């Protein structure tokens, strides 16, 4: 146990960056043109989405898996076979509009590419799943720091020992994202994020990473490690990479996901996702 240094919260009005001021359509155009980067902090005010696309014959299992694991898999929309755009990306193309994609065959990742067009199949059903980036602006407004934004890194994500509730042929572990929070602000972090159940909501777990099977916070399974300062508690939120962990565990014949942290920037306003 380190010394508990009292931390004075700094109410943070995020400094607008060029990326934060882009419209979602402008952001998607950058990625369509080939830019590869994590998307935390892009298009302030708009929801970002995880992607997982599976063949139509797996679509019911995946939708039921999401329904049964709503904290990790809050579905924002589903594009049926042949649909490449929709209300979340009007005029867009789901195959090109994310910064990077992972392609899976029999549960094994065979490629990570900035453009999934060459791998896309006409029978794919694309699930767009809420992302915790949506509540980060609200955390910052409440004076709760978001370390991976401060450090310009991808958020750290970990596979836990918390099994998802299976559905049909799909099973797998819950994946979490982690933000180190000063002990005095943990309650605020819970309170603020509870208002966003459509993008993972309140934390799944506060402190004690070993209890959920995380041995070393410095070695995330996805994304990048961030600094944890004395007096900070690691706080874990369910993560929309969970469906891809289910792909890895359940080995459907084919799937395409986003590269973790490299999200779809959608036209959905975060403000529409709040509850009282």
Strand pairing report for 264-269 and 173-182: unpaired
32 counts as binding a second copy under rule CB under 8 A = no
Touching a second copy, residues 58-97 (CB under 8 A): 59-60, 63-64, 67-68, 75, 77-78, 80
C-alpha distances in Å from residue 157, one per residue of 41, 154, 179, 223: 17, 9, 10, 6
Cβ–Cβ contacts within 10 Å for residue 138, how many? 17
Largest CA distance in the chain: 57
Alpha-carbon Rg for the chain, nearest whole angstrom, is 18
Segment 161 to 190, residues that bind a second copy, using CB under 8 A: 167-168
Stretch binding a second copy (CB under 8 A), from 56-64, 143-151, 210-218, 220-228:
56-64
- CB nearer to a second copy: pick between 223 and 243: 243
Given the complex with a second copy, which of 37 and 274 has the nearer CB atom? 274
Return all residues near 172 (Cβ < 8 A) that are at least 6 apart: 163, 164, 242, 245, 246, 247, 248, 249, 250
Please identify, using beta-carbon distances, which residue of 17 and 56 lies nearer to a second copy.
Answer: 56
Is 207 a binding residue for a second copy by CB under 8 A? The answer is no
CB 77 within 8 A of CB 128: yes
Q: Which CB, 152 or 168, lies closer to a second copy?
A: 168
Q: Does 138 bind a second copy (CB under 8 A)?
A: no
Q: How far is the CB of 63 from a second copy (least distance, A)?
A: 5
* Number of residues binding to a second copy, judged by CB under 8 A: 19
Q: Is 195 in the site for a second copy (CB under 8 A)?
A: yes
- How many Cβ atoms are within 10 Å of 161's Cβ, its own excluded? 11
Residues whose CB falls within 8 Å of the CB of residue 232, separated by 6 or more in sequence, listed in order: 7, 180, 181, 182, 183
Is the Cβ of residue 147 or residue 205 nearer to a second copy in the bound state? 205
Binding site for a second copy (CB under 8 A): 59-60, 63-64, 67-68, 75, 77-78, 80, 167-168, 191, 194-195, 197, 201, 275-276
């Amino acid at each position: 146990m380190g010394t508990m240094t009292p931390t004075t919260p700094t109410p943070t009005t995020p400094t607008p960056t060029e990326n934060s001021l882009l419209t979602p359509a402008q952001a998607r155009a950058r990625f369509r043109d080939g830019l590869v980067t994590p998307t935390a902090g892009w298009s302030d005010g708009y929801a970002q989405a995880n992607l997982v696309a599976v063949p139509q014959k797996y679509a019911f299992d995946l939708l039921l898996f999401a329904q049964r694991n709503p904290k990790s898999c809050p579905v924002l929309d589903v594009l049926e076979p042949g649909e490449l755009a929709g209300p979340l990306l009007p005029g867009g193309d789901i195959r090109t509009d994310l910064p990077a994609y992972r392609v899976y065959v029999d549960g094994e990742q065979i490629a990570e590419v900035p453009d999934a067009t060459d791998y896309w199949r006409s029978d794919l059903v694309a699930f767009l799943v809420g992302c915790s980036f949506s509540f980060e602006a609200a955390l910052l407004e409440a004076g709760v720091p978001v370390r991976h934004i401060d450090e310009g890194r991808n958020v750290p994500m970990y596979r836990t020992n918390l099994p998802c509730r299976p559905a049909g042929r799909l099973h797998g572990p819950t994946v979490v994202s982690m933000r180190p929070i000063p002990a005095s602000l943990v309650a605020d972090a819970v309170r603020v994020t509870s208002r966003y159940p459509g993008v993972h909501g309140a934390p799944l777990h506060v402190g004690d990473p070993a209890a959920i099977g995380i041995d070393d916070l410095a070695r995330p399974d996805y994304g990048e490690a961030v600094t944890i300062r004395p007096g900070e508690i690691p706080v874990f939120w369910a993560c929309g990479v969970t469906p891809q962990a289910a792909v890895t565990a359940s080995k459907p014949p084919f799937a395409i996901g986003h590269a973790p942290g490299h999200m779809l920037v959608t036209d959905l306003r975060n403000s529409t996702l709040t509850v009282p």
